[in-house]
Amino acid sequence: MDAIANAGGERPAIGFDPLSAEYLADPYPFLAAAAAKPAFYCQSIDHWVVTRYRDIRHIFRTPALFSAANANSPLRPPCPMAVKALAEGGFKSVPTLANVDPPAHTRVRKIANVAFTPKRVAEMESFVRELTVKFCDERLRDGHADMVRDFAWALPALVLFRILGVPDVEVPRVKEGSWSRILFIYGQPPESEQVRAAEGLAAFWRLAENLVRDRMTNPRQDFVSDLVKAKDSEGKGLATEQAATIVLNLLFAGHETTTGLLGNAFRRLLADRDSWQAICRDRRLIPGAIEEILRLDTSVIAWRRRTTQQVDIGGVAIPQEAKLLLLLGAANRDPSVFPDPDRLDIRRANAREHLSFGAGPHLCLGAPLARLQGKVVLEEVSARLPDLRLVPGVTLEFAPNVSFRGPLSLPVEWGPSPARSAH
Ligand code: HEM
């Protein structure tokens, strides 16, 4: 924390490093210290960092001044070998949805909305419940499990696959592709790892592209089939590469974030017995608890934008074409919006105002699906295992990147504790 104590001073903060081991292990003390200044330049990642709720919400809602063009770009320019690996692997993703600005974004988003209707999501509830019950029966046995590796890792991917029309056997390949993408785009791996990540990302791209090409000739009852035939108001559809880019983005954003949400939810709720017991007693508290987890420990802790002209953020002049890192994790604990912000309060009246799904034109397309999965999983697990608890003394690990956050593993146990049953 000392390293960023000058965050409130005149000079830009140095030493704020969102990829350092200390930050990844527990970013919240760093975010609290960073929030002493509304914005500052961070040398280690060459981004301007924005910390406060109102500024970040304004940035999300003002695409003319704050472009989303860099939202899915590598944090730093990749090395030439990695660029070559991407090209040779056939990677042809084009700016399409999360990283284009209105009016181009408006057109594509309308098409994505058509193919990803609230009705399609609502219809998923019975499938999500069936799958959750199956996971509980098959994977939560014997008094101990890993709530992330055994449960939260695959479940959201299988839900998403059902919507997209991807076969279940693809879970390991999609998860591997997602890991490559996390490292390559949102991290800063050394050159040797960059090449491997670029190869993984290219393979991930080919999977999405093949899926799109298949549905163009063999349409089925699924999202990808709807997407390739959807038209905008002028009767124009998406180019193959645009459709494949959307599918690729969904094959990443549509499960990795929810795996993080579930991992963070179990971690925080099980560490706070009163909250856990409250949701076990009264499942009506669960939707509010999910919002509070999204606020307190979001699975997308930072997102990116780029300025289109010089701007003023809280009195700090930021140049044109500056890359911005928006600290959603800091905004969600801004005390001027959320009183006593570090406290988990599953009954917090305004928890839903968090910025974890963004805001404005790019507001997360999958938010209803993520919320649905959080609700169903907590309902089923809390009903079956009210004495579920964290295995004590475990050091949690997180993916080395600036945006996506959730424990990679979360050992839990239930029933008589091993120590007690030994006597
Ligand atoms: C807890 C889970 C999730 C979190 C925290 C999350 C977070 C976010 C954030 C921060 C953005 C950027 C918003 C902006 O730029 O204003 C976003 C966009 C997006 N998310 Fe999510 N997301 C989650 C789940 C999902 C799921 C389940 C899907 C798909 C099934 C999804 C699909 C998308 C898409 C397609 C976009 C781009 C929308 C656009 O640019 O118009 N997300 N999400």
- pLDDT (tens digit per residue) in 81-97: 999 999 999 999 999 99
With a 6 Å cutoff on the Cβ, whether 60 touches ligand 1 is yes
Mean of pLDDT values over 278-304 = 98
Could you tell me the two tokens for 149? Answer: 């590796």
**In the structure, what pLDDT confidence band is assigned to residue 12 with cuts at 50, 70 and 90?**
very low
Q: How far apart are CA 178 and CA 258, in angstroms?
A: 13
Of 5-19, 188-202, 250-264, minimum mean pLDDT range: 5-19
The pTM of the full predicted model, rounded to 2 decimals, is 0.94
Q: Tell me the DSSP string of 225-265.
A: HHHHH---TTS----HHHHHHHHHHHHHHHHHHHHHHHHHH
With a 6 Å cutoff on the Cβ, whether 365 touches ligand 1 is yes
With a 6 Å cutoff on the Cβ, whether 356 touches ligand 1 is yes
Please say if the pLDDT value at position 9 is more than 50: no
Testing ligand 1's pocket by substitution, the residue of 186, 357, 371, 404 carrying the most ligand atoms inside 8 A of its CB is 357
Nearest-atom index, ligand 1, CA of 156: 27
What does DSSP say about strands 411-413 and 47-50: parallel, antiparallel, or unpaired? unpaired
Q: How far apart are CA 423 and CA 298, in angstroms?
A: 40
**In the structure, what pLDDT confidence band is assigned to residue 419 with cuts at 50, 70 and 90?**
low
Ligand 1 centroid – CA 234 distance (Å): 26
With a 6 Å cutoff on the Cβ, whether 254 touches ligand 1 is yes
With a 6 Å cutoff on the Cβ, whether 363 touches ligand 1 is yes
Residue with CA at minimum distance from ligand 1 atom 7: 357
- Calculate the average pLDDT of the chain: 93
With a 6 Å cutoff on the Cβ, whether 370 touches ligand 1 is yes
Residue with CA at minimum distance from ligand 1 atom 42: 366
Please say if the pLDDT value at position 100 is more than 70: yes
The pLDDT tens digits for 307-365 are 999 999 999 999 999 999 999 999 999 999 999 999 999 999 999 999 999 999 999 99
With a 6 Å cutoff on the Cβ, whether 159 touches ligand 1 is no
